[in-house]
Structure 1
């Protein structure tokens, strides 16, 4: 049987849908209990519709909604300022996640939540494992880190813009190849997650270096770097290695289940197509 595994970055999907629903009620002031209840209802309903559309459009044979652990992952221990300053999920939404997971389950999509692993690493582990078997994987997320996994068997789809984020997208946005993105971001840093790069090296310089030398490893070994670039890299070399470690997705997490556990009911995807 041909497999098409669809992996949903669950909090990425839920929080973006919630943000749209919340905007209908304004962003200022304390929300009343009735307004909160309505926002949660609307978010849950929109999440259900999104899941139907995702499964149907991608003709998934297997699907899984992957959540972050409730406990801080290893990246916070390595770098305490990881994701520092990012807006926290509203408490009322956090308390509603179990109900939304049940909504997903009603659409035959189970949820995966680890006690200690970040969703990014869980998704990467699953995607690589299935891709190595020559089967198709589609990751549903707007998180750019998954672009580093792009390959013959792994695709990334932005549900909100309704487009695949492919190699052409990576080339246009970053001027490097998908497999070079981790090295690229190691130099520039990742502002979204508050991970620092090499001070003084921006996107253009990083892309030029990657394209000239091929990899961060080759850059570090090069003996013909401009003195100004060499000085910046030498000054921040310890930080550079930490940044790369933080950016690398883990692909070897023990999962404790197999594909048959998340297989969608036969013909379910076809029946969903009529819902749009």
Structure 2
């Protein structure tokens, strides 16, 4: 029985052959996506539209061991020979601990393999802060029906200045310059505080969604200052408010009276029994 299993396993391995240009070229598109798999793990995806692209699926240790996919380019613009060489280099880089899904790493591998910079077209562009803002608004704000008005501060103050930087590599000096510019333009401290706070929250969401790895705004998060109580109501003032000797219309002002009691730390019975001066 064991010999039969080994034989069946070997037969399946023998059926796997190296991809060839003829096999890829003659593979017809079907109603659903199909794949051709090379013995090295290189995959050629054939879409119903007729598009054919080289890629690789692997276990990504940088993203909680989830299955990630990287693409090497479309056939025939990317030749099978180049795709196989890029694939072997990507596997080697991953084995050496590099994050091959990072655009700069993958583009570096492709450029090194292709050699001819004139024929090199970046496969993936850098994920910028503007991309993060767009994904945040679409994937969090709109999805959860959160009012967009507070978060528009990011679009108004942060994105126009820092939107072109890679999301993980916003220079600290540029963040400092942004905060200084907001202060010099007579923006309220509350506006600056909210702008930084909302940007930090956006980056925290981006890290949870594996959109970015770092939060460059975290060190500049401004802590809100708590206002300390400096004035207190006297017992006689509270008694005057509650007894309303001048018969003022109180209506909703009763809420203010209750708030005055809470802020003073006094009980209602204490205010009733307050002795006149």
Q: Establish whether TM, by shorter chain, passes 0.5.
A: no
**Structure possessing the higher radius of gyration over alpha carbons:** 2
- TM-score, scaled relative to structure 2: 0.31
Larger relative contact order (Cα-Cα within 8 Å, sequence gap ≥ 6): 1
- TM-score, scaled relative to structure 1: 0.32
